[in-house]
Amino acid sequence: LAKTTQPISMDSYEGQEVNITCSHNNIATNDYITWYQQFPSQGPRFIIQGYKTKVTNEVASLFIPADRKSSTLSLPRVSLSDTAVYYCLVGDPLGGGSQGNLIFGKGTKLSVKP
């Protein structure tokens, strides 16, 4: 099971681009990288998923280098409503971790200030 390492917290200001990097040195060949967002007292919400290179959707971009030992979630022009905890997970496609369940770390607490 690939372990992930993320910064515990990050601060930003409205309108800035935020990049959160996750390390996963032991990622397996079949593993995908998935990011979830969680607001207080709510369940995690899927943001983006990728295998290699770059993935972009309406919310974020995910950059994955060739060696896949790390990944960077990029949030363009953040707003106050992006204040949340962001989790990086490594495992089976579309959210499944080892043996079919998701393994969460402590995540990165992003605080966006006005």
Partner 1 sequence: DAGVTQSPTHLIKTRGQQVTLRCSPKSGHDTVSWYQQALGQGPQFIFQYYEEEERQRGNFPDRFSGHQFPNYSSELNVNALLLGDSALYLCASSLGFPERVYGYTFGSGTRLTVV
Using CB under 8 A as the criterion, what x/- string covers residues 66-85 for binding partner 1? --------------------
**Nearest in space to 60 (alpha carbons), one of 71, 47, 50, 43:** 47
Give CA separation, 40 vs 36, 45, 67, in Å: 13, 12, 34
Determine if 86 is a binding residue for partner 1 (CB under 8 A): no
Q: Closer to partner 1 at the Cβ: 71 or 86? A: 86
For residue 81, give the DSSP letter: G
By CB under 8 A, the residues from 4 to 63 that bind partner 1 are 41-46
Site pattern 87..106 for partner 1 (x: CB under 8 A): x----xxxxx--xxxxxxxx
**Closer to partner 1 at the Cβ: 10 or 103?**
103
Instruction: Return d(Cα 1, Cα 44) in angstroms, integer.
Output: 21
Pairing outcome for strands 70-75 and 84-91: unpaired
Interface residues toward partner 1, by CB under 8 A = 41-46, 87, 92-96, 99-107
